[in-house]
A and B are shown apart, each in its own frame.
Chain A
Amino acid sequence: MSTNPPPDDTDGRTSRREFILRAGATGALLAGAAVAGRALWQPEHFVPGFQPEKGLQLPSYALALNKTLPSLAIAHGKEHDATVRAAIGALGGMSRFVQKGDIVMIKPNVAFDRPPALAATTHPEALRAVAKLVMEAGAAKVFIADNPINSPAGCFLKSGLRQVASDLNLELLYPETNSFSPLQLEGEVLKHWTFFHEPFKKATKVIGVAPCKDHNLCHASMTMKNWYGLLGGRRNQFHQHIHSIVSDFALMMKPTLVVLDGMNVLMKNGPTGGRLSDVKQMGTVVAGTDMVAVDSYGYTHLLERDLAELTYIHKAHDRGLGNKNWQDTFHKEVQA
């Protein structure tokens, strides 16, 4: 009987089985590394000056033009719910804008951690009225979101909007690092900027609900300026070109509907206010599909100022982004 050991790799050669196993393992590692690298690679990342800039472009949420219904409605009343309902009713009702199953993003102005009485933020009752109408129209889901200047949690709490979200079971989206994406626009000053995209990813309709208030840099903050709250990064640098960027917002965002809350108007010391004596009760809500027309009415009739001063309105009008001559639009004025 032979006592030689059975032939194996001890003779200096690798067995076929072992080779296959090791080659397989190496190949699997290489393939895994390749897959991981591909997954981690961010095709949208760019280094300024070295690559062409790319970013998302928002779709239009606007409805097709309807010549049989007004595009602007002005309602006068004593309390928010009735006046908002009257304004939207004059446009044909919320069912004109929101259908069953829609996912609606409502953008209020919650820039500051101010109480509602100071009229520096969207009034909770205005948001409540709009949100209720949206839900009555059959929306499947309603988001509210903003990227405030002050702490988001504090702003939504102190403005009273968090309570509204809780009462009506609205989904409140706070801005987080992952919520932003680069936006691309052929604006006058807004070309490529970080944008609060998360609330819009699933939205099928967008409604802006803005207070009507003084702003010491651009004279007024209304429905067009409301979209400033969607920008991220060091957006304050746009203050140097405030009128250009506000007119750019009319290019950036084509909402389904905007609502300008003029029940209580911050007449001076805006945008933050701070004195009840700066707030004037105007008892008016303006709703419409043309932000330029809505803001034009707000500036002249609610802030009671000369439209010639409001540079961004004229810029937006001249760029074809809306009609500053609101009285030439198909409009309706009602009493709640």
Chain B
Amino acid sequence: MAGSDLPKPAASPKRNRNEFVRENIPASERVASAVLLCLILGIGVGLWIKGKHFDPNRYALRTDALKSTAGAVEGKAGTLRSAGETQPGEEGASAAPRPKAEAATAEAEPAEGAAAAPKPAIKGEPLEIALPGLKPMGATEFYSSDNLFEKIDGRAPAYQGFNVQQLRSRSFSVNALSGSFVDVYEFRFDSPVNAFGMFALERDPKGKPLDFAPDGYAGEMGWFFRQGAVYVQVIASDQKPETLALAVAIAQNRAKQLPADDAGLAGRRKLPAEGLIADSIAFVPDNAQGQAFLKNVYQANYNFAGGKLSFFVMVTGPGEAAAAWKSYLDFSGQFGGKATVLPDASGAKLFAAENFGTAKVIYQREGEIGGVVDVPNGELARQFVEKYLAGQIK
């Protein structure tokens, strides 16, 4: 009796805390908890793996991050450098483009000051070649001038010297032959002239001329030519007939697909093919033969009448060509040299000169100036020039 009448003791606050202890936990909550724990564990493992190895690139200078500060600030002196101005150590990657076409037999100079971070590869249209019997081995690869070394390593500086803009390359397997493939490289330059310059630098003297590309030749397992501002290389993996047949088909395809452009190459077309020593063709953009008035000159060596000689041609306006011819005549008579104006031939003015033990014969006809230089036999030089002007050497 006493128990039922006694007031119930007040509930302690602690009792409420115990009531939060749950014994029945829903399955969804268990799963969510497990997922979270696994995620935390995974993050920990990932941190361990990532942190295990040192990456020096983590602290490499990213010059592209500095671009935001390179712009001119309104109201203040501009901080942008003018095009063509370079700083020490910046030759190559970050200098303003300059046509630099050395003689074809000169060695490429080593890269210098390539300390700037490479720009991202230029993306472009995938290299699609729809020919039966071929299958792409992978995606098209794109490289800019800055990261061209990632594909061609030590050859990159030579290409940069001619202002290469982009490399687009892709490999194609030969369906009929396991292990056989064809590599296609398309180096795009800033001008047809520079594309020609690089092509000429690597030209194989034993290459056979191509009938589908005036500036081109075929090797034993490769086809190399210039089309417009693009220097194309199609290289087969082996000399099996099926592989070579597909490789030449690819080369012809590219020659058709790529736009033709011979801007700046008028002088190149003037060089006669007869007697030409193919790998001697060179382009000199300025100061050819040490003369400021000789620019954009094409020159090559020839076998002629039992001897060898060097012939050059420059195509420009008639006034400029005449002025250059006059300047060359005046210069040749200096420093003990002897210059003689010859009778006109085939509508061209000519002079012959002897300096320092060698002879030259220089002509000018309308917008064209050229001639034979540095030969021991002046008569041989005159014969060649007169035959060329008469169209007898083509």
- Where the two chains meet, the residues of A that have a C-beta atom closer than 8 Å to any C-beta of B are 1, 3-5, 9-12, 36, 39-40, 42, 44-48, 55, 111-113, 115, 117-118, 149-151, 154, 158, 160, 163, 177-178, 180-182, 193-194, 215-218, 233-234, 236-237, 239-240, 242, 269-272, 274-278
Contacts and interface: CB of A to CB of B under 8 A. Distances in A.
A332 to B, nearest CB: 33
Contacts of B54: 44-46, 55, 181-182, 194
A1 B3 contact: yes
B9 interface: yes
The 7 A-B residue pairs whose C-beta atoms are closest, nearest first, are A115-B237, A10-B12, A276-B220, A217-B154, A182-B54, A10-B14, A10-B15
Nearest to B207: A277
B149 A236 contact: yes
A154 B111 CA distance: 27
Contact of A12 (B12, B138, B151, B152): B12
B112 A240 contact: yes
B61 to A, nearest CB: 11
B73 interface: no
Interface string B204-232: 10110000000000011110100000000
Interface of B: 3, 6, 9, 11-15, 18, 44, 47-49, 51-57, 59-60, 107-108, 110-115, 137-138, 149-155, 157-158, 171, 179, 181, 183, 202, 204, 206-207, 219-222, 224, 233, 235-239
Given A154-B171, A158-B171, A277 B53 contact: no
A45 B171 contact: no
22 contacts: A12-B12, A12-B13, A36-B44, A40-B47, A40-B48, A55-B54, A117-B221, A150-B150, A151-B138, A154-B138, A194-B54, A215-B154, A216-B108, A237-B115, A239-B149, A269-B202, A272-B155, A274-B202, A275-B219, A275-B220, A275-B224, A276-B239
A234 B60 contact: yes
Contacts of A194: 53-56
Contacts of A182: 53-54, 56
Contacts of A115: 181, 235-238
Contacts of A217: 110-111, 154, 157
A40 B171 contact: no
A53 B260 CA distance: 55
B147 to A, nearest CB: 9
B219 to A, nearest CB: 5
Contacts of A239: 110-111, 114, 149, 154
B113 A149 contact: no
A242 B157 CA distance: 13
A28 to B, nearest CB: 15
B112 to A, nearest CB: 7
Contacts of B235: 115, 118, 274
Contact of B150 (A118, A149, A275, A278): A149
B220 A277 contact: yes
Contacts of A277: 204, 206-207, 219-220
Given A10-B15, A271-B154, 13 more contacts: A1-B3, A11-B12, A40-B44, A42-B51, A45-B51, A45-B54, A115-B237, A149-B151, A216-B107, A234-B60, A239-B114, A239-B149, A272-B155
A210 B157 CA distance: 24
Most buried by A among B9, B110, B114: B110
A328 to B, nearest CB: 31
Contacts of A163: 179
Contact of B52 (A9, A42, A48): A42
A117 B14 contact: no
A23 to B, nearest CB: 17
Given A3-B6, A216-B155, A270-B154, A233 B12 contact: no
A55 B53 CA distance: 11
A5 B9 contact: yes
Given A39-B48, A216-B107, A237-B115, A178 B237 contact: no
B18 A272 contact: no
Given A9-B18, A36-B44, A178-B52, A150 B151 contact: yes
B53 A12 contact: no
B18 A178 contact: no
A177 B53 contact: yes
Nearest to B201: A269
Contacts of B206: 277
Contact of B153 (A4, A55, A112, A275): A112
A234 B63 CA distance: 15
Contacts of A45: 51, 54
Contacts of A5: 9
A317 to B, nearest CB: 22
A180 B153 contact: no
Contacts of A215: 154
A55 B56 CA distance: 12
Contacts of A150: 150-151
A137 B49 CA distance: 37
Contacts of B13: 12
A199 B91 CA distance: 38
Contacts of A36: 44
A237 to B, nearest CB: 7
A79 B236 CA distance: 23
Contacts of B238: 115, 117
